[in-house]
Amino acid sequence: MASLPVEVVYGLYFGVLTGLVPAAVAWLLGFGFRYVTGVTVPGLAVVVLSVAIAGASGGLMALADPTITQSESQVRLTVALLVVLMGALYAHNRGDAFANDIPRKMSLRKLTERSLSTDVVELVGGRGQVSVSVTGEVGDIEGYPPVPLDIRTSIRNGEWTFPADIPLVELESRYADRLQNEFDLAAVEVRLDERARATVSAAAPVGGLSKRLPTGKRAVSVTALVPTGLARGDEVVVVTDGGTVSASVAGVESVVETPSDADEDEDDADAPKAAPRAPTAVGGEGRVTLAVDRGKVESLLGSDAERFIVTSRGVRREFELVSLLRRAGKRFSRLSVGAEGPLDGVTLGKAGVRDAYGVAVLAVRHGGNWTIAPRGDQEVSAGDTLYAVGSRSDLTAFEGAVA
């Protein structure tokens, strides 16, 4: 047996050789776990893993040099084990501290998140905006009839402007909704690149009457004195010699031609077309197609329409709600959740938005989907969009904290 100092030196040497791999693994484990989850790995787990790795490494070294494990007092092995444990714990601590010092967390969603290039953003009135244009030909969606050539050309040559401060996935959704509403398309699929160039696939407009009828309704045409301005979707009451029938307008025979379809096109062929409007009756004697309940079809067909009354829908309730909130001193605000903020990676209930900031969250866009009137278990993360209501000062404070 060698002297004690020599055994200690052997132990230090053996511990350094066998402790390099466990220390590296401990550093990576501490850094990765803290960086991704924000939780520190327990030291006991690091010790067990390090001893296991060191045992495997030491066993391989012992196979190459059997004298390593032939010490009678086993001093060198004890010293080596202590060196391995201290090295692994120190490496784990430094990895955890390094991950904690990095200001931003990384997640799979952030790695795959796409954003617009700054070269395509224009400043107008102090706000950034981006113009979306179509690249290539407008494709068809499988299972739908092809889009007419005139609509393809209008989409291909058109240009639409949107705010530049919204995520690219939301910009795609807004652009698809815009195309679907303006051209009355049955479906639209959009893919944008970082330079706001869109690849569009669309389905032809659904023009059949049966596609517009609600479930359980039937279409019936009647001749009556039609009020001027009657349009598809209006609620009406038909007074017949057998009683009254409530229905909704599915179509009108005579319509007012919109300016975008007549004079404006002749004056300026290159001018952009206005959004199509619902067909509107010119008034007078005419035929109207009504959507009525199945059980009232026979009574309406077997009677003559005497009067045709349009039912008032009254006040738009959503506008009435906004007006009442404004009278109470409340305002609405659209917010984007910032990284490392109080709402990043937590639920609304855990953040205590109402108690902490005095505002109420009306809607959340998370993962590309909107949730209206979210509950307390609604998850929120960086890049999500919120609509909140509250006083002006509360909204300002909330926006500053969230961003």
Q: Are residues 337 and 392 in the same domain?
A: yes
Assigned domain for 106 exists: no
Burial class, 222, CB count within 10 angstroms (exposed 0-12 / middle 13-18 / buried 19+) = buried
Q: pLDDT tens digits, the chain, 403 residues: what are they?
A: 567 777 777 677 767 777 777 788 888 887 777 777 766 777 777 777 777 776 666 554 544 455 555 545 567 677 777 777 787 778 877 877 777 666 554 454 554 556 777 777 887 666 778 888 898 889 998 877 888 888 899 998 888 888 877 778 888 888 888 888 788 788 899 988 888 888 999 988 766 666 667 777 888 888 878 888 787 778 888 888 878 888 888 877 754 444 444 444 444 444 444 434 445 677 777 788 888 888 888 878 877 777 778 887 665 566 677 777 777 888 888 888 888 888 888 888 888 888 888 898 988 988 878 888 888 888 888 888 888 999 888 888 888 888 7
Size (the chain), residues: 403
Q: Are residues 175 and 237 in the same domain?
A: no
Q: Give, in degrees to the nearest 5, the angle at Cα 257 between 253 and 263.
A: 160
Amino acid at 370: W
Q: Are residues 43 and 126 in the same domain?
A: no
Q: Are residues 255 and 303 in the same domain?
A: yes
User: Measuring CA to CA, how many Å separate 303 from each of 195, 198, 234?
Assistant: 61, 54, 22
C-alpha span between 278 and 126 (Å, rounded): 36
Assigned domain for 267 exists: yes
Q: Is the pTM of this model over 0.85?
A: no
Range of the domain at 33: 4-101
Helices (H) and strands (E) in the chain, counts: 13, 17
Q: Are residues 275 and 298 in the same domain?
A: yes
Q: Are residues 155 and 234 in the same domain?
A: no
Assigned domain for 398 exists: yes
Residue 258 φ then ψ, to 5°: -70, 150
End-to-end CA distance of the chain: 68
Assigned domain for 109 exists: no
Q: What's 396's domain CATH number? A: 3.30.70.1450
**Number of domains into which the chain is organized:** 4
Q: Are 239 and 300 in contact (CB under 8 A)?
A: no
The domain boundary, picked from 44, 73, 101, lies at: 101
